[in-house]
Amino acid sequence: MLEVTVLTAFPRLFVATVDEGMIRVAREKARLAVHVVDLRDYSDDAHRTVDDYPYGGGAGMVLKPEPVYRAVEALRAQGRAPEEFIHLTPQGRTYTQADAQALSERGSIALLCGRYKGVDERIVEGLVTREISIGDYVLSGGEFAALVIIDSLARLLPGVLGTFDSAESDSFASGLLDGAYYTRPEEYAGRRVPAVLLSGHHEEIRRYRRREALERTWRRRPDLLRGASMDDEDRAYLAELARREPGRSGGGKAAGDSDEGGS
Ligand code: SAM
């Protein structure tokens, strides 16, 4: 069971979201618990204030240290001190699937959602064990980043995804991007499903999918290829792609590109 405690001034953002999709499934299977702590419950004034003006002036407000420290004290007093206290911030290290895998193996984590201009730095100095960014852009609050992280963890917890829907074939799990998928009908808008997928030949389908994943990664995210585990057949296929289209790798998907049908 992974226990995730979210510290936020906007707890209602979690009400519907944790009751849907894989987060709901993980909670129902008792693999995940999500505790949402309202920082306003730890404010010490009648207006339940959690922010204040920044010293030195400037626009915007700052999340005060006291409510966060008090909330953490309360968790400790309940015997629920988290193993990791994570601050969500655009200044953190960019979150990856490898981070998701590592966090999913923890027993308990806390996610601190900043708001306004950010949090008082003494929170970071005194409580935070790790800072995570979900990408190089600025959100108005850490709640959306927390939900991204919770969703990515829920689907990695044992027994949450069915074997068919396994996370192992998803992008990044093996270091590659995932390939293309098709469902019925066999032909739509003049486009046919690749014949090999209808063939019933498991080994040919496996090879086709592997080549698809290699080719997509080669075209869209060649930086990932360095860290991916590959066998001789994979390397031979990448060499064939490079021969076919010298100077092509490193692109990203441009309009009109077709990278389906990798064999
Ligand atoms: N002044 C901060 C800065 O420039 O680094 C940005 C503050 S932002 C408007 C408010 C809050 O949203 C942050 O404290 C953080 O919790 C959250 N946030 C914004 N962008 C984020 C990102 N890319 N990843 C994770 N959290 C983010």
| For the chain, percent of residues with pLDDT exceeding 70 | 93
* Residue identifier of the C-alpha nearest atom 26 of ligand 1: 89
The rounded Cα 65 to chain-centroid distance in angstroms is: 27
Please report which confidence band the pLDDT of residue 248 belongs to, taking 50, 70 and 90 as the band edges: confident
**Dist. CA 169–CA 177, nearest whole Å:** 9
Please report which confidence band the pLDDT of residue 257 belongs to, taking 50, 70 and 90 as the band edges: very low
Q: At the top level of CATH, which class does the domain 2-154 belong to?
A: alpha beta
**Dist. CA 199–CA 257, nearest whole Å:** 26
The rounded Å distance from CA 166 to ligand 1 centre is: 32
Cβ–ligand 1 distance for 128 under 6 Å, the answer no
Other C-beta atoms closer than 10 Å to the C-beta of 222 total 15
Quick check: 9 pLDDT over 80? yes
The rounded Å distance from CA 8 to ligand 1 centre is: 13
**Dist. CA 22–CA 221, nearest whole Å:** 27
Please name the CATH architecture into which domain 187-244 falls: Orthogonal Bundle (1.10)
Which residue ranges make up each domain of the chain? 2-154, 187-244
The rounded Cα 207 to chain-centroid distance in angstroms is: 28
